[in-house]
Each structure stands twice: as C-alpha cells, then as structure tokens.
C-alpha cells in the first residue's frame, strides 16, 4: 500500500509564535494543499507553558515524548518511525528532528523555517540535512545568503501570515488613560520585567496608564509578585485566538522590550487591530514592520526611559497615535493576511514534495549523541548512568 503524501510539521510543545504560525498554516490551508499533520514534541522537564491546541487540530496531532537523558538512538529511531509512516515533506522548526535526520532516513524532503538567530545557527550546523530554507524576514534571508552562499537557490523569502479581523473597531482615544499591552511568553529575554520599570518611570512623570499583560511562562509567578502593589494592571490568559484579538483591540500600544526576536507574531497581531508597537530596535522582522512615526516606534534595547518617553509623547499627541494605528492596520491587512501567505507556503511545500531528488539527509548517516547513545544499550541503562554520574555524557 502506497504511503500518503503529506506535510509533517514538527514543533516543540511551547506556547509562542512558532506554535501560532504552524497552527495557522494548518488551519488556513485550502483544499488544494497537501494533508497536514502536527508532530508535537513534549520535552520532559521543560518549564515552558504548553501550547494551546485548538480542537479542530487535535485529530491531526501526533504527540511524542522526548527526554534528553534517554538513549538518543532509541528515541530518535522512534521519532523517525512516526515521521516515516507517510511521505512528502518535513517542516523543521527546532533542533530535535534535525538531530534525528543525521542518523535515520525518512521518506521526506526537509524544509527548515528559519525564524531567528537560533534557527540560523541550526541552518549552518545541519545544512547537510536540509533541502530547502524559508526565511521570514529580509534580514534572515540576507544572513542565510551570506552564511551558506552555495545554497542561495534553496532559500526562499516568505513572510508570516496572521488571521486578519475583517472589521476593526478603532476609535480615537482622546483623553482617557492610554491602554498599554504586553503580549508574549513570560521570560526575562522577552522583556517581561522591563514592563514594571517602564510603569514606574511613567508614574514619576504623572502619566496614568492601564496595563494588560497577556500570556504565560516560567516567570509568570514572579511577574505577578512584582506587580502586587499596583492597581493599574490586569493579567489575562484567553483561551482562543479570537479572544486574544478582542483584548488586543481594546489596547492602544503594545510595549515590546524584547531582547531577541525573529519576526514577532505578537507585533503583527497587535498591529492588525490597531494596537501600535513600541519595540526594541533589534535586527529581524521588527525593522520591516515597525516604521518610526508611521506604524510604531523602535527604541534602544534595555533603555526603559526611551520606551517611557515614547509613551509620554503619544499620551499628549492622541491624533498622531490614531494616525499610526490606522497605518498599522493597513500595513498588516495588505501584506500579512494568512489567507494569502498560507497559499505561498503550501504551494512551496507541494512543489518540493514533487521533486525527484533523494532527500539530502539520506547521504549523511552519522552517529548521534555519545557512547551511551547506541542500539546495544537499553534505554533504562542509559538513563540510569546519566542520572548517577555527571562524568558520563
């Protein structure tokens, strides 16, 4: 019996932009696209918030338990069997499936989505296992072209797509408090603790604002404790994407003091309903969508005073704020509609699945892991030895 030809997306079970992008690619595909499945890697010991998987996706989810201290040979052989039950293409978003491809062949071409610097490093390290690359931003496209120039014909630039709300109800906020939003995983590198410091500076300036903090993460408890004496903040964890957009639409400004980013989904989602970003001035997608004085502001990273100053300016210039909100809506609706972008992704996936060449990883066949990661050792022995001795790896 012939195997089904489909698209296998592999992601780590974390709440965040990669999960959002992948879910959208599956949910918004049209009837002409290949069937899709989602391989969800559950990392044992991870303290990250698990992804929210919509009910409409559950029947397409293939969960996989991955414990880093297990015997890699047995673990990745099992993962390869899951992915080899069908053929077509594998969409890679992290390191784990790429590690697997070094040792085990599957009947799929491999497309890596390069989100940020982390994935860029993986592109270089595992280039011999990857057939095609998708860059989300011009910066990542340019970096890939520089780092692996001999693969220039295998690199494609395709921007993110997000669900676009057809009717956005955005009225000018003339004299009420500005409504400020943080949207993202609650980890230090996303700038979650900077929000409190920006609020302190605004209080010193006698600028009254209202904060909404969305999302969850390893630092959620500490963040809530940080704000325990403040009465101008709400912590919300909506269950659906439509609820998230409804909440964003009620806010004026997304405050985004992140320390790293690829192409931030949070910024696109916020701009799509007229919540303009004040974001860290970092390389990547921020440079393409956050246009100073037009769709938002870019600020020096780690400089909370500058963030507060931009908020203060918009507090007094409500007409400018409203104009920028309209610009942000138009830019995202014109360029990042998931219904348009998803077709580009799915057509690319389909085209690659039809090529006659063998997948590049079939020529690799390297040993992975250490001397404890081999087929002769049962998994329980490898795990035990790693647990009892820090000198055996």
Range name among 102-106, 216-220, 259-263, 272-276 with the lowest pLDDT average: 259-263
Q: Using CB atoms within 10 Å of the CB of residue 61, give its burial: 0 to 12 exposed, 13 to 18 middle, 19+ buried.
A: middle
What mean pLDDT value characterizes the chain? 93
Backbone dihedral angles phi then psi of residue 319, each to the nearest 5 degrees: -70, -40
Nearest CA-CA partner of 248 in 334, 183, 161:
183
Give the burial class of 168: count Cβ atoms within 10 A of its Cβ; 0-12 exposed, 13-18 middle, 19 or more buried: middle
Ordered structural domains, the chain, with CATH = 5-161+339-388 (3.40.50.2000), 178-336 (3.40.50.2000)
Band (pLDDT 50/70/90 cuts) for residue 58 is confident
Question: What confidence tens digit (pLDDT) does each residue in 144-189 have?
Answer: 999 999 999 999 999 989 999 888 888 898 889 999 999 988 999 9
pLDDT in tens, 61-102: 999 999 989 999 999 999 999 999 999 999 999 999 999 999
């Amino acid at each position: 019996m012939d195997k089904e030809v489909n698209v296998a997306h592999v992601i780590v079970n974390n709440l965040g932009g990669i999960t959002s992008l992948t879910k959208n690619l599956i949910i918004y595909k049209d009837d002409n696209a290949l069937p899709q499945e989602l391989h969800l890697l559950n990392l044992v010991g991870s303290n990250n918030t698990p992804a929210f998987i919509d009910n409409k996706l559950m029947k397409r989810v293939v969960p996989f338990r991955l414990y880093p201290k297990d015997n890699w040979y047995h673990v990745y052989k099992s993962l390869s069997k899951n992915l080899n039950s069908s053929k077509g293409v594998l969409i890679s978003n992290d390191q784990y499936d790429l590690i697997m491809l070094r040792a085990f062949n599957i009947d799929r071409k491999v497309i890596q989505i390069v989100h940020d610097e982390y994935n860029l490093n993986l592109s270089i390290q595992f280039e011999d296992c990857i057939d095609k690359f998708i860059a989300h931003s011009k910066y990542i496209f340019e970096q890939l072209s520089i780092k692996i120039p001999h693969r220039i014909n295998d690199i494609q630039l395709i921007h993110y797509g997000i669900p676009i709300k057809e009717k956005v109800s955005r009225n000018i906020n003339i004299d009420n408090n500005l409504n400020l939003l943080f949207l993202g995983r609650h980890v230090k590198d996303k700038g979650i603790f900077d929000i409190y410091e920006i609020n302190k500076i605004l209080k010193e300036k006698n600028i009254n604002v209202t904060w909404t903090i969305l999302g969850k993460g390893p630092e959620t408890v500490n963040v809530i404790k940080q704000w325990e004496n403040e009465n101008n903040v709400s912590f919300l964890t909506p269950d659906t994407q439509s609820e998230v957009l409804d909440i964003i639409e009620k806010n004026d400004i997304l405050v985004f003091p992140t320390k790293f980013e690829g192409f931030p989904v949070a910024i696109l989602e916020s701009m799509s309903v007229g919540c303009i970003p004040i974001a860290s001035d970092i390389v990547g997608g921020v440079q393409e969508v956050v246009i100073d004085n037009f769709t938002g502001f870019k600020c020096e990273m780690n400089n909370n005073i500058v963030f507060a100053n931009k908020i203060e300016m918009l507090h007094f210039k409500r007409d400018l704020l409203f104009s920028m909100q309209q610009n942000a809506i138009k830019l995202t609706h014109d360029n990042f509609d998931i219904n348009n972008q998803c077709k580009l992704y799915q057509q690319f996936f389909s085209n690659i699945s039809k090529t006659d060449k063998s997948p590049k990883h079939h020529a690799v066949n390297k040993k992975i892991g250490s001397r404890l990661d081999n087929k002769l050792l049962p998994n329980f022995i490898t795990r035990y030895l790693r647990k009892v001795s820090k000198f055996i790896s």
